[in-house]
Structure 1
């Protein structure tokens, strides 16, 4: 066998509606490792791709939000199981993307898997923690229950290609919302592999839609899209955040602001779960 064979370069696609379409624009861009070495080609999503992803997320929302919290927990746990089976691939991709030693990459991947398990455990507990039976002066029962927000646009962290991504993605779907995620622009390979995991897991198509490409190009369209209910600005450039917030205000979106440098390795709290829930209060007459 010749030692001079040419390696077949991989060209990855988007993940929209449970399928892997090419960008409608036909564009792609080179993905390199931390030393500048070529790794693969990734699809460069366009405005049309973002609209298609929002449509897929909206279509999937009734079924996903209507599933029992226990079932959603099982689905998230299944994602962790499948990631465990592809652990070595994730380790290699994180090491190449972030320029860390293999041992450090292993700890990052393990933390990302554990994070899926952590959020899986919260799915059927969050209603108890955030819900309430409210005392009222009258012959009524008054309950407050949390309900999912809807379609969430997530700008994933640029510096943390896997652990940061999981930390902003898992709480969205754990609470019953669906999402459109714009992955790290320069480090998209772990996100693409996660898309392949999601496609072979029990997560219904359209619940998670993963776009690769330029955050500065896609974010304004998602911020102004009337069918997006919430926007996570974690991975947006500092120079763009004010404009994105103004665009989001036009359709009264929830906006989750990024709080400086994030320590993704730190144990999460329920703040991100709360961010994607609406409080619904119901009054019911006693004896009826």
Structure 2
């Protein structure tokens, strides 16, 4: 209670983000989130397997409309999200500083880099086809055109060590190319991800394109890896043993898997993740001669 005003502090209640809505975990469970010194920050929802399955249903439902939107439209929506993130820099700076034990200056640099990266990926929306597709020379009176298409529903394990910059670096490239995602936030630092959900919900992003769960990474990733309606996995936030188990589960329905690897999230991201969850469709068309 504040000594000057006599007011009680109003603590924020964090929730999951599934299908454009903010449900509590179906089990009602929560877990304590602390800062780098062990100081309590908040109770985050402890998502269950049922929550993971609900998130996949929401992502699949949103896939048709999102993948069918024009690349220009997707880019505009992502840019709008960046605008909104810019307006909440102070909030994200405080959350990143607490989550990662950084000074205000270093946390600000992380948040600024994350917003810049979101803009960078937004700009690729109507350009990626130029590096991932093209016309092919064939012997015959045909046009032969290869074009990139999204893989589908991607389950993303957010990086554990980079609660916001790393998070943006795995979500943005997946959705800008037309995929929908189910994200398992960093287990020990989920608050920036849950706050990102609030930005997404008030942007132009259709519900279900991004679904964010907090909880135990191993508990959430197992049903996602085995789910028959998940098309791909990004294992950025998995350790070696967990990644091996998830790859085995993913092989059951031939999911595309992006294996974990050491990443400097502050470095130039390149186009690797942008191309990771694209398929190539090749079409033959007569020239009409």
* TM-score class, shorter: over 0.9
Q: Is the 8 A contact 2:47 2:214 kept in 1?
A: yes
Unaligned runs of 5+ in 2: none
What is the rounded CA distance, in whole Å, between the counterparts of 1:157 and 1:272 in structure 2?
14
Which residue does the alignment assign to 1:104? Answer: 106
Alpha-carbon contact 1:11-1:43 (below 8 Å) kept: no
How far does residue 9 in structure 1 lie from its aligned partner after superposition? 3.5
Give the equivalent residue in structure 2 for 1:196: 198
Once residues 185 and 150 of structure 1 are traced to their aligned partners in structure 2, the CA distance between those partners, rounded to angstroms, is 25
| Structure 1 residues 2 and 155: CA distance shift in structure 2, 3 A | closer
Question: Paired residue for 1:138?
Answer: 140
Checking the alignment, whether the CA contact within 8 Å between 2:243 and 2:260 is kept in structure 1 is: no
TM-score (norm 2): 0.97
Give the aligned partner of residue 278 of structure 2.
Answer: 277
- Paired residues for 1:146-225 under 5 Å: 146-225=148-227
Q: What secondary structure is seen at the aligned counterpart in 1 of 2:122? A: helix
Tell me, in whole angstroms, the C-alpha distance in 1 between the residues paired with 2:11 and 2:106.
27
Q: Taking structure 1 as the reference length, what is the TM-score of the superposition?
A: 0.97
Deviation at 1:2, TM superposition (A): 5.7
Measured in 1, the distance between the counterparts of 2:118 and 2:241 equals 31
Whole-Å separation in 1 of the counterparts to 2:166 and 2:45: 21
In 2, Cα distance between equivalents of 1:30 and 1:37: 10
SS in 2 for 1:250: helix
RMSD across aligned positions (CA) = 1.2
- For the 8 Å contact 1:233–1:257, the answer to whether it is kept is yes
Cα deviation, residue 6, structure 1:
5.1
Long gaps (5+) in structure 1: none
Q: Number of residue pairs matched?
A: 287
Q: Which runs of 4+ in 1 moved over 6 A?
A: none
Aligned to 1:57: 59
Matched residue, 2:268? 267
Rounded Cα–Cα distance in structure 2 between residues aligned with 1:11 and 1:27: 13
Partners of 1:136 and 1:142 within 8 A in 2? yes
How much does 1:7 deviate?
3.2
1:10 CA displacement: 2.9
Q: C-alpha distance in 1, partners of 2:185/2:79? A: 22
Counterpart Cα distance in 1 of 2:145 and 2:266: 36
